[in-house]
Chain A
């Protein structure tokens, strides 16, 4: 006979119970119940995160690391605990490989700037892909312009998948770093990053993954992936805005020069010469975003309490249902039909402009994103100016998919 615990673990995922954890979902927009399908831009926050923020400012706030008094040492302990939580979340080898940044964008900029300073010179090449977010294009463009290096681009096929053979051809002894996303924010494509890393490492080229759209949806193991840099944002994974993580392998972070100068990142300062603090502090100049780090810890705990297994399984079910239902709409075509996808669907309907669709859906209480999603080169690749994007979180329901479909039919009727 089964043990009672075993039965508990196979209890079905209860989406209604989960929805109660997110107060913001329970409201009306334009007199209609809110249907929030803009999770890839930013997800909503559970009570646990909101309460952690309030509790911190109400009872725990103090500056971290340098204080001898009670509040400061408590704040330091809570702050550093979150570094440990982030480490465990992605299975990093060391806690000091976790650097707190403002978000994925700052994490990529840190690596582009600091790694670029030390390791990229004239004639070198940086390899990115055609499906990158502007945040994983522009920082590399800046460093390439500065150093006289060249930006090379891995092309994407019609389904929205990276063309692996093209990637292999682009890799050479000139390549200094490969920077690609783990999951595409526009198409939802889950890229074969382990294979990409393996191949790049054959050339001793490190790989940076923009994982902003991966960590909210799936369990990650940076050691198993053998990723050199892994960047993600708290606000897309149910935590506060303004905080993100740069994971970097110790050997790279040790060799890279500091990104910004200031307090915290120094060992000793004289006017003649400053020596720098150890990892991770070398890359954390100034007073950090303590409150949001601590609340981010609450978001990680919350994700843990639900479990990635349930999250991934439920979101997959939602994605399949939504894909099927959307394709029932005459004239609707999905941009990004990769075999391996996260719960993101970009689409166009007839010749109707995404802005018009988004505006009508908004009137019906449905929040989607419209436009180029900060991936203009990818839009050019598909010969379109933008898409409508519905992105799902584990608190979305099949009923909400039905509301979306009904809304699209209404938009079609009004706009055709």
Chain B
């Protein structure tokens, strides 16, 4: 199975083809548009990750020892970033998720979107994903 870091390297490779910001953002927007829709029943308060400016809904479940993440955002650029994080983290065992170091964000020059002042809900979403992973892993051990 492909590892978290292999997926990150894949994304870094994809972004290396763009030499200007526009191509990069168009690629992010495209990924946002392609993100699988979230089931209506998942738009509930407990799945809401509230940012100051944009917000994210995140649903997680456990399938065959791996955590599955599904999500949506009201802003398309945030949604594209969410799609990339899901692509990297979803479908992996809990311990790999909470140990993951998301270096691709820096490498593709999107660090500013992960700064806490950005208030797009992304930082809070990643934190929540890791918390879920810890939760699932504790459940597994019990």
Contacts and interface: CB of A to CB of B under 8 A. Distances in A.
B42 interface: no
Contacts of A353: 54, 74-76, 78
Interface in B68-91: 74-78
A363 B25 contact: yes
A359 interface: yes
B53 interface: yes
Contacts of A372: 52
Nearest to B24: A363
B86 to A, nearest CB: 19
Contacts of B120: 355
Contacts of B29: 414-415
Contact of A415 (B21, B74, B76): B76
B55 to A, nearest CB: 8
Contacts of A354: 53, 75
Contacts of A370: 53
A380 to B, nearest CB: 15
A390 B78 CA distance: 22
Interface of B: 21-22, 25-26, 29, 52-54, 74-78, 119-120
A359 B29 CA distance: 12
Interface in A367-391: 370-372, 385-386
A355 B53 contact: yes
Contacts of B22: 363, 414
A409 B52 CA distance: 25
A373 to B, nearest CB: 10
9 contacts: A353-B54, A353-B76, A355-B54, A355-B120, A360-B25, A363-B25, A370-B53, A371-B53, A385-B74
B119 A371 contact: yes
Contacts of B25: 359-360, 363, 414
Q: In this complex, which of B52, B53, B74 has the most chain A Cβ atoms within 10 angstroms of its Cβ?
A: B53
Contacts of A371: 52-53, 119
Interface in A66-110: none
Given A359-B25, A363-B25, A415-B29, 11 more contacts: A353-B76, A354-B53, A355-B53, A356-B77, A359-B77, A360-B77, A370-B53, A371-B52, A371-B119, A386-B53, A414-B22
B52 A356 contact: no
A356 B53 CA distance: 10
Given A371-B53, A371-B119, A414-B29, A30 B75 contact: no
A354 B77 CA distance: 11
A355 B26 CA distance: 15
Given A353-B54, A370-B53, A414-B26, A363 B77 contact: no
A355 B77 contact: yes
B94 to A, nearest CB: 30
B74 A30 contact: no
A355 B75 contact: yes
A8 B76 CA distance: 53
Q: In this complex, which of B22, B75, B120 has the most chain A Cβ atoms within 10 angstroms of its Cβ?
A: B75
Nearest to B55: A385
B18 to A, nearest CB: 13
Contacts of A363: 21-22, 25
A251 B84 CA distance: 61
Nearest to A30: B21
Nearest to A385: B74
Q: In this complex, which of A355, A363, A372 has the most chain B Cβ atoms within 10 angstroms of its Cβ?
A: A355
Contacts of A414: 22, 25-26, 29
B88 to A, nearest CB: 21
B26 A356 contact: no
Contacts of A358: 53
B26 to A, nearest CB: 6
Contacts of B77: 355-356, 359-360
A354 B22 CA distance: 18
B124 to A, nearest CB: 14
A303 to B, nearest CB: 29
A360 B24 CA distance: 11
A355 B21 contact: no
A385 B26 CA distance: 24
Nearest to A370: B53
A370 B21 CA distance: 20
A375 to B, nearest CB: 13
Interface in A346-368: 352-356, 358-360, 363
A353 B55 CA distance: 11
Contacts of B52: 371-372
Nearest to B120: A355
A358 to B, nearest CB: 8
Nearest to B80: A356
A386 B53 CA distance: 7
